[in-house]
Amino acid sequence: MAPAATQFRSFNFGAGNRTASQTSDTGFNPRVLLQILPVVFILLLNFLPSPQPIYSLSASYQYEHKFTTHKGVNYFVRSAKFEHEYPIHSPERQRVEEQVNRDYLSILGQNCRYELQRQQWGFVRETPHCDMMRRFDRADA
């Protein structure tokens, strides 16, 4: 049986089989604009301001006004007008404090899992974050 003769064709990226005189067009090319437009759009979106959270669980130069939830979790806000914008027993203030408590519990949970893993490996004996999480859950009941 005769071997099959396979003919390979060449493939060129870019301008293809154009000659040098054909590639020196100086006119407007809409394809280039369509290729650059998504990149420009993403860059513009990057410069838009993003909303900052109302509170932080740690003090910083932006979040310097300290408040405490009914469960004893400290949080910090940016504005001194926070008490005015979120009165003490208002539903908005309760929502903020519930979110603070959830975030705090989430951080305790992450740290507790880390401590339990280290305890299982024999690196530590105490698990203070797990103890804090248990006390926090008991305060909820």
Report pLDDT digits (tens) over 118-138.
999 988 889 999 999 999 888
pLDDT at position 19 is 55
Does 19 map to a domain?
A: no
Q: What is the pLDDT of residues 31-80, one digit of tens each?
A: 888 889 898 888 888 888 878 889 999 999 999 999 999 999 999 999 88
Does 62 map to a domain?
A: yes
The whole-number average pLDDT for the span 79-91 is: 91
Domain that holds residue 71: 55-140
Helix axes 128-140, 91-120, angle to 10 degrees: 150
The whole-number average pLDDT for the span 114-121 is: 92
pLDDT at position 44 is 87
Does 47 map to a domain?
A: no
Q: What is the pLDDT of residues 10-20, one digit of tens each?
A: 766 666 555 55
> Looking at residue 15, what DSSP letter applies?
T
Is residue 96 classed exposed, middle or buried when 0-12, 13-18 and 19+ CB atoms within 10 A define those classes? buried
pLDDT at position 141 is 61
pLDDT at position 73 is 94
- Number of domains making up the chain: 1
pLDDT at position 15 is 61
Does 119 map to a domain?
A: yes
Does 31 map to a domain?
A: no
User: pTM here?
Assistant: 0.63
Does 4 map to a domain?
A: no
In our burial notation (b when 16+ CB lie closer than 10 A, e otherwise), range 28-52 reads eeeeeeeeeeeeeeeeeeeeeeeee
Between CA 95 and CA 81 the distance in angstroms is 17
Within 13 Å of residue 107, how many CA atoms lie on the same side as its CB?
A: 9
Does 1 map to a domain?
A: no
Does 61 map to a domain?
A: yes
Is the Cα torsion angle 68, 60, 58, 95 positive or negative in sign? positive
